[in-house]
């Protein structure tokens, strides 16, 4: 048995997605993740793999697509580092969850990204 949110609700913010991107000097825009696994449910440590559209942002503009990265971080830290939320929510369907989530885009500072060495 493990904790699972079945009816997550995330409030909207007051930002437009374009405005949120313009705030980013250098960062990554992740549109979707999969294979999300918790290493520790108590502390919130997890890892996930971005897919379907992950882009390098420079000076608020999409520079190029990127691949082969992993997000390895902590849920509490992620929630504490939310800088802004979009006013528009998107309906998100996940392959292993029957009930969709409606959530805004989030600008999160200091997310730990790793990349495999070649």
Tens digits of per-residue pLDDT, 68-98? Answer: 999 999 999 999 999 999 999 988 877 777 7
Residue 63, in any domain of the structure: yes
The answer to whether the CB of 41 falls within 8 A of the CB of 81 is: no
Residue 100, in any domain of the structure: yes
The four Cα atoms 31, 117, 47, 40 give a dihedral, to 10 degrees, of: -170
Residue 6, in any domain of the structure: no
Domain hosting 55: range is: 17-112
Residue 74, in any domain of the structure: yes
Residue 43, in any domain of the structure: yes
Q: How far is CA 35 from CA 38, 48, 76, 100, in A?
A: 10, 6, 19, 17
The answer to whether the CB of 33 falls within 8 A of the CB of 118 is: no
| β-pair partners for 34 | 49
Residue 10, in any domain of the structure: no
The answer to whether the CB of 57 falls within 8 A of the CB of 21 is: yes
- What pTM, to 2 d.p., does this model score? 0.83
Number of domains forming the structure of the chain: 1
Residue 1, in any domain of the structure: no
Residue 44, in any domain of the structure: yes
């Amino acid at each position: 048995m493990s904790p699972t949110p079945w009816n997550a609700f995330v409030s909207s913010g007051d930002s437009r997605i374009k405005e949120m991107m313009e705030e980013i000097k250098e960062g990554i825009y992740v549109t979707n993740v999969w294979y999300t696994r918790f290493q520790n449910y108590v502390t919130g440590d997890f890892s996930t793999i971005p897919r379907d559209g992950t882009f390098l942002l420079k000076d608020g503009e999409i520079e190029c697509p990127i691949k082969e990265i992993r997000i390895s971080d902590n849920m509490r830290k992620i929630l504490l580092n939310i800088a802004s939320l979009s006013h528009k929510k998107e309906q998100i369907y996940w392959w292993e969850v029957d009930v969709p989530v409606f959530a805004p885009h989030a600008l999160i500072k200091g997310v730990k990204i790793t990349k495999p060495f070649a």
